[in-house]
Amino acid sequence: MSNSTVAVPVELIKDGAVACLYLNRPDVLNALSDDLIKTLADRLEEINSDDQIGCAVIFGRGRAFAAGADIKGMARATQEEMQKSDRLALWNRLWKFQKPLIAAVHGFALGGGCELAMGCDIIIAAEDAEFGQPEILIGVMPGAGGTQRLARAIGKYRAMEIILTGQRFSAQNAHDWGLVNRVVPKEILESEARGLARRIASQPRLAVLKSKEAILRAQDVELAQGLTFERQLFYSLFSTCDQKEGMAAFLEKRPPQWKNK
Ligand code: CAA
């Protein structure tokens, strides 16, 4: 038997109620191979059903968050193969994650890397982070949500220029345009992201899940429909112990003890 350990493409480290996921192909700037995306989806599904975990964070190991889909893995593919394998449909498993998901971005977040960050719920960027959708420079276009999510996040006109030129943009620009929540020095990226995740994980879980669900719905439906959906979720929380506890604690002027039920 060999002693050599095979590096896993995504490492999961649990830190109390926070799950930290590390994209782990540093030699290729965490290029997002099908295997990596599948492993990430497997881990997220595992975290989804882990009652101990209230929030997850994705980090990149090495000098990048992720420099995009793995070009090597698709350079020679034909249209027929791409369509038949529908490999990007794998990514839909990521977007089904129900708990809050934070992207902690340093270095490059390009192509699929930028799309992965944008598919998270909150983005924290290190000062050195560089975002972009450079697919045009290799003869294609974004395929894992870039045209849709970037346009929604920063507006049609900026998204158009970025996608059509492939130009990268800085963490500061991303922040100014509303794509990232905050920009922090690289040395504290990990502690900031874990700190925020801990804070979210300490809130009553069911109210967190329903809030996320309602906010995501805001992107897809017109306001009247979104308001009805939100109201129904709001009412549904009155079947939880945490609603009784939260409101009783407020009236009794004491801190609440969440049961996550
Ligand atoms: N796929 C496969 N390998 C990649 C990669 C990718 N997306 N990005 C980087 N790598 C590899 C490089 O081939 C290189 O490997 P070797 O050492 O074996 O040659 C290694 O990572 C380090 O990269 P560089 O030597 O190029 O590092 P650099 O600092 O000079 O440049 C970079 C960094 C500007 C990010 C450059 O690597 C680059 O332009 N990468 C490609 C970015 C890109 O086009 N992303 C979009 C991919 S398509 C996509 O994502 C489609 C989609 O929507 C799903």
- Angular region, 70: left φ>0, alpha ψ -120 to 50, beta rest: beta
Domains with residue ranges and CATH for the chain: 10-201 (3.90.226.10), 205-252 (1.10.12)
Report the share of the chain in percent with pLDDT over 70.
98
Per the residue annotation, which of 68, 113, 135, 201 is the catalytic one?
A: 135
What is the best residue among 27, 29, 90 to mutate for testing ligand 1's pocket, by most ligand atoms within 8 Å of CB? 29
Average pLDDT, the chain: 96
Per the residue annotation, which of 66, 69, 193, 197 is the catalytic one?
A: 69
What local confidence, expressed as pLDDT, does residue 1 receive? 42
pLDDT at 5 over 90: no
The pLDDT tens digits for 186-195 are 999 999 999 9
Judged on CB neighbours under 10 Å (0-12, 13-18, 19+), 246 is: middle
Residue pair 99/43 in contact (Cβ under 8 Å)? The answer is no
The pLDDT tens digits for 83-139 are 999 999 999 999 999 999 999 999 999 999 999 999 999 999 999 999 999 999 999
Strands (E), 24-121: 55-60, 64-66, 101-105, 108-110
Mean pLDDT of 149-156: 97
What local confidence, expressed as pLDDT, does residue 27 receive? 98
What local confidence, expressed as pLDDT, does residue 4 receive? 53
* Helix (DSSP H) and strand (DSSP E) numbers for the chain: 10, 10
pLDDT at 36 over 80: yes
pLDDT at 220 over 90: no
Which residue has the CA at smallest separation from atom 47 of ligand 1?
Answer: 68
Give 3-state DSSP helix, strand, coil % of the chain, rounded to 5: 50, 15, 35
What local confidence, expressed as pLDDT, does residue 3 receive? 47
Assess whether 197 carries a catalytic annotation: no
CA distance 48 to 181: 24
The pLDDT tens digits for 191-207 are 999 999 999 999 999 99
- Within 8 A by CB and 6+ apart from 211, the residues are none
Mean pLDDT of 145-157: 97
Q: How far, in Å, from the CA of 27 to the mean position of ligand 1?
A: 10
Mean pLDDT of 213-222: 94
Ligand 1 pocket residues where CB is under 6 Å: 28-29, 31, 67-72, 108, 110-112, 115, 134-135, 138, 142-144, 146
